[in-house]
Amino acid sequence: MSRDGRDIPFSGAIRPVLIDTTQLALEQAMAGASQRQTALANNLANAETPGYQRVDVDFHGALQAALGSGDAKQRLQGLSFSPQADGSVGAVRADGSTVDVDAESAKLAANGLEYQAAVQVAHSRIDILRTALGVK
The pLDDT value given to residue 88: 83
Q: Is 15 part of a structural domain of the chain?
A: no
Q: Is 107 part of a structural domain of the chain?
A: yes
Residue 120 class from Cβ within 10 Å (0-12 exposed, 13-18 middle, 19+ buried)?
A: exposed
Give the chain's domain count.
1
Q: Is 68 part of a structural domain of the chain?
A: yes
The pLDDT value given to residue 11: 45
Q: Is 12 part of a structural domain of the chain?
A: no
Q: Is 73 part of a structural domain of the chain?
A: yes
Residue 49's domain spans which residues?
21-133
CB within 8 Å of 42: residues ≥ 6 apart: 55, 83
Positions of E strands within the chain: 55-56, 84-85
Question: What tens digit of pLDDT does each residue of 17-55 get?
Answer: 456 888 899 999 999 999 999 999 999 999 999 999 999
Q: Is 47 part of a structural domain of the chain?
A: yes
Neighbours of 51 (CB within 10 A): 11
Q: Is 14 part of a structural domain of the chain?
A: no
Dist. CA 92–CA 39, nearest whole Å? 18
Q: Is 16 part of a structural domain of the chain?
A: no
pTM exceeds 0.85: no
